[in-house]
Amino acid sequence: MKIAFIYRDITFQAPLGVMYLSAFLKRSGHDCYSFLIEQDAVDDLVKFKPDFLCYTVTTSNYKFYVEYNKTIKRLFGAMSLFGGPHATFFPELIMEPDIDGVCMGEGEEALLDLVTRVEKKEDYLNAPNWVFKADGKVIKNRCRKLETGIDSYPFPDRMTFFKTPRLRRSSIWVFIGSRGCPYQCSYCHNHLMNTIYADGPRVRFRAPENITREIHEVRREYPVKQIIFTDDTFNLNKKWLEELSARYAKEVGIPYSCYIRANLVDDEVGEWLRRSNCAVAYLGIESGNERVRKEVLNRPMSDRDIINASCVLNRNKIKIVALNILGIPGTTFSDDLDTLKLNIRCRPYQAVGQLLQPYPNTRIYDYSVQLNLFHEEDVSRLGDLLTDSKLSFDPGHLKKVTILRDLFAFLVKFPFLFKFFPMFLVLPRAILYNISKAYYGYLKLRLFPVFSGPGQILLGIVNFYNREKKGVS
């Protein structure tokens, strides 16, 4: 059968989940096609004649895809299927018009099962992981157990998605070595995974040999000069990290970036990362106040843990990108200044300040509603963490927090600038915002030089600002 994966656009941050689905379906003989909304002509999709239109959605972009599906579905007699994080945690998405199925959880076996049943004209309404509507009723099926042997999955289908010369010339490529996260931060939906997958381990690791073999295959086809590992916590399993680092250093050696949890960093971890050529570590500081981290964000780690991790990474010449959340419900501007001060002590290469978005079905959403800072009817206004706060703070407080977010990277890099903060409050915000984004883009381009010429740099800046303005990914 013919399956079209509809995606807005692809940069070097490739949609690994969708590419895994495509590879899994192709292995069983199905025909897969990637349609990039901002690049491809609809006529090409019409010529493909898909049996299924598939979308992967998040809370910040699902409305765009729902509306797009309404316009495109009328051209085909195809089933429209939605999956991804938003579909998993909000299966009521099935009630949107023109959506035929919603997939909860990991989708390889689930999508293949559904496609096979439709192809054989078998009943599919009881297919595990799927939510359907029939005869005016919603049918919600239980999820199958997670696959523990993820080394058995084929490598992501990059050829189908990186189909233009521009994309194939990219020097930065994305990989993942594990699936799942054991933590339950209040701003994340992860705690719901316990109810969706009650049995068996949720965190699973690929064998280091399997990971390096995939990298070798990609290097044979593409000019790989930098790698991004998108694992939720790259240093979660110390034994696995030691084995992978040793093999990676010996067989690959390409500079890479990864996401690190501070309270799991020690001298050995730092040494393994350095020897394997880890160039950038994303470190979730989130808040500089221990009470806020523990009681509000459910991230029970101490300032000492964070400072120690930063010292280890800096000592090993690994650039730190510190991730922070400002404007947290139940906090004061003084708490946000604690975050600024802790970042200054940690000396990151780049400090990213983000304003909290209380996504529904998270504990921070419930807390925000409890404090009367957010209302259900405001959900449609939520964006990603780089958009403005949607919480109903006092206007004066909100302005200070927003300006702090805009200037966060500057203030961490040049702390003396904070004495001018009262002046920044009276300047037109557009000036500060644009200067901040230009600096953010400059630092990001230094970390990830994805463009090969002035034209591509200009195009990248324009696309970046357009996405920031729309608040979508």
Domain ranges of the chain: 2-140, 169-470
| Whole-number pLDDT of residue 136 | 87
* Residue whose entry in the numeric block shows the structure tokens 């958009």: 387
List all residues 6 or more positions away from 29 whose beta carbon is below 8 Å from its beta carbon. Answer: none
Counting residues of the chain whose pLDDT is more than 70, the rounded percentage is 93
Spatial distance between the Cα atoms of 85 and 106, rounded to a whole number of angstroms = 10
For 397-461, the DSSP string reads HHHHHHHHHHHHHHHHH-GGGGGGHHHHHHS-HHHHHHHHHHHHHHHHHHH-----SHHHHHHHH
| Whole-number pLDDT of residue 450 | 57
Matching CATH topology for 2-140 and 169-470?
Answer: no
Chain centroid offset of residue 386 CA: 13
- For residue 460, which amino acid is it? G
Q: How many CA atoms lie within 13 A of 5 on its CB side?
A: 29
Strands 130-134 and 101-103: antiparallel
- The answer to whether 245 and 276 have CB atoms below 8 angstroms apart is yes
- The answer to whether 350 and 409 have CB atoms below 8 angstroms apart is yes
Count CB-CB contacts under 10 A for residue 360.
Answer: 16
| Whole-number pLDDT of residue 441 | 78
Classified as helix, coil or strand, 333 is helix
Residues, the chain: 473
Which residues of the chain are modeled with pLDDT < 50? 468, 470-473
| Whole-number pLDDT of residue 366 | 95
- DSSP state at residue 377: G
- DSSP state at residue 381: G
- For residue 292, which amino acid is it? V
Spatial distance between the Cα atoms of 435 and 454, rounded to a whole number of angstroms = 20
| Whole-number pLDDT of residue 236 | 97
- For residue 127, which amino acid is it? A
Q: Give tens-digit pLDDT for 174-205.
A: 999 999 999 999 999 888 888 888 787 889 99
pTM of this structure: 0.91
Nearest CA to 8 among 84, 68, 83? 68
| Whole-number pLDDT of residue 193 | 86
Give percent helix, percent strand, percent coil of the chain, each to the nearest 5: 50, 15, 35
| Whole-number pLDDT of residue 471 | 44
Spatial distance between the Cα atoms of 75 and 73, rounded to a whole number of angstroms = 5
Chain centroid offset of residue 175 CA: 13
Q: For all residues of the chain together, what is the average pLDDT?
A: 91
| Whole-number pLDDT of residue 451 | 52
- The answer to whether 375 and 369 have CB atoms below 8 angstroms apart is yes
Spatial distance between the Cα atoms of 326 and 291, rounded to a whole number of angstroms = 14
Helix 454-470 and helix 429-447, axial crossing angle in degrees, nearest 10: 130
Considering the domain 2-140, what is its CATH architecture? 3-Layer(aba) Sandwich (3.40)
Measured between its terminal Cα atoms, the distance across the chain in Å is: 29
| Whole-number pLDDT of residue 168 | 78
- The answer to whether 71 and 42 have CB atoms below 8 angstroms apart is no
Nearest CA to 328 among 378, 360, 379, 371? 371
What tokens does 244 get? 């992978």
Query: Is 3.80.30.20 the CATH classification of the domain at 169-470?
Result: yes
